[in-house]
Chains A and B, each alone.
Chain A
Amino acid sequence: MLDKKHREAEALSAAAANAHARGRSKEALELYARAARAEESALSQVPTEKSHTRSILSLSIVSLLYKAQLLDAAETRIFQLLGSGDLEEWTNRQLRELLQVVSDERTIATSLHRRYSGESITVALRGGEIGSGTGPLDLILEKAAGLQSLLYRFAEWVGDYPLRVRGSPPKDLMDLMQARASEPTPGSYRLEIRLTEPLQTDLFVAPRTQPREVSDAMFEFLARLTGGAPSQLEELVPRPDYRKALLQLTRNVAPTGKRLKEIGIYRRLEDKIQSVYLTDALPAKIRDTLPREEVNVSEPRGELSGVLRALHLDKNWLELFTKDGRHIRCDTVHDMLDDVAGPMVNREVIVSGRMRERQGIRRLLAEEIELAEES
């Protein structure tokens, strides 16, 4: 039943993924398009009573068209498949979800080409509790604030400012960003972040950071993080303290799955729309990528989870309220950042680091903190 055309589609999509990983984007797009055609032939051979098989292959076709950036063809095929009425309900749900993403991305491409002259970034929150142009206010505010913190950090890194462990961004960067909600559209809640030139406080000294450099830095960093190897991130951000800060702030923004499935970040370049996607696979990857000191066998790593009830980073401690009703105080490393840990107060977190013994008491030195998976 899964005939040679399906095998051809498998081989072509594998070759496309390989081409994409090696930076041969045009070749990848062509291979994905050929894979979609082969999968289409395979689907035509599957009898209607094989509903699981038809459902899986149908989703595969649309996904391949999307990856080939054939958005019109993907949209048309989704309507045909939904109209056929012979797919399982879960497939129809996924097709509708895909339709929203395809429509959303087409609109983003159109609006980015049409409207903006300055440096602007469009952020689309998708899936989970996000509706069409709506979403829970707490979630939207959290992600907007997280993106703002992340962009300030990129600006500081680009401007070669010393790593800020406490407090607000440098004064001359404070007017860098204007974030605003965009018009409601099907499939996502959108934010538009416009980057403006920092204040020139001294007539003879140019600002240390330009909007385009900040935007370039963020896209390059996120592209390497989502599609490259850890060594490529090290090349881009050689300083471990800045790399760790940027990774942790990206993790704060990344979806954890249930409330939010994906964040698409877009900007217009001269000849194309550049995009990068943050998904719920990202937190685990960031965990693997964070720079860490060599393991000391006398201080094994450990982790604790609970609600973050208190923290005093100037005095290097935080306190968790665990599920079994205990309050546990942990030490924190000196470079645990305000804007990483601060937004987590009163939320379920996981802290990890080295177990140390001080004056006969065993205590966790929290080196990293992240939000726990939403249940």
Chain B
Amino acid sequence: MTEDLPELSTIRHPRHPGVSAALCEALSEATRVCLARHHEPPRTEFSVECLGNSSTRGLLWESPDDTAMRAWNNRDDATRDAAYIVSIAAVEKELGLVAISRAETRSGVDYYVGRPGAVDLEEAIRLEVSGVDHGDLSSVRRRLREKEQQALRGDSPLPAYASVVGFREKRILVSPVGRT
């Protein structure tokens, strides 16, 4: 028997302090659009490989409406944003961690995860996320290697996880980087 990933509408404040209600809604909508490109609602089963452990997890979702399809289809960030919230759901399910904070970088945003109840970023773990829309498994694995190398090249000594979500491939890969 498989246990599902947390419903995306619940990946938000207060359980995930780093995800506001508005952000949760936006990221969930992006996920619906990405999943609808390849799969049928209401449930898609993902193969999850997290820190060496494998599992199969269902994800419940609804069809996006036309407005959402139009809005997100003209943006390059749908896959990336969808990958963020699916990765956070996977990290919560597999590792019991929650999204604590977003923090700005020059070229984007870093997400930090940590234990529930953390009040600061002292023990936070950076989450390096990427999404693969239509690539096959080798593409997803290759993207994970690239994210790992990117995270290792970063100047931050903070521990990090690299996470890649393959939407067509229904695959979530999470691996530790550095001294996690």
Contacts and interface: CB of A to CB of B under 8 A. Distances in A.
Interface of A: 1-2, 6-7, 10-11, 13-14, 17-18, 21, 35, 39, 46, 50-53, 56-57, 59-61, 63-64, 66-67, 88, 90, 93-94, 97-98, 101, 226-232, 257-258, 262, 277, 279-281, 284-285, 287-288, 301, 303, 373
A355 B139 CA distance: 16
Contact of B124 (A52, A101, A227, A373): A52
Nearest to B158: A52
23 contacts: A10-B102, A14-B102, A18-B26, A21-B77, A35-B104, A52-B122, A56-B103, A56-B158, A59-B105, A60-B103, A63-B104, A64-B104, A88-B157, A94-B155, A94-B156, A98-B106, A101-B106, A226-B76, A229-B78, A231-B73, A257-B153, A258-B153, A284-B146
A226 B107 CA distance: 12
A2 B143 contact: no
Dominant secondary structure of chain A at its interface with chain B: helix
Contacts of A280: 150
Given A18-B26, A60-B105, 17 more contacts: A7-B20, A10-B20, A13-B102, A14-B102, A52-B120, A57-B103, A60-B104, A64-B104, A94-B156, A228-B74, A229-B75, A229-B78, A257-B153, A284-B146, A288-B133, A288-B135, A303-B138
B74 A52 contact: no
Residue of B73, B130, B146 with highest tally of chain A CB at under 10 A: B146
Nearest to B19: A10
Contacts of A39: 104
Contacts of A18: 26
B84 to A, nearest CB: 11
A56 B160 CA distance: 14
Nearest to B123: A52
A90 B155 CA distance: 6
A205 B112 CA distance: 60
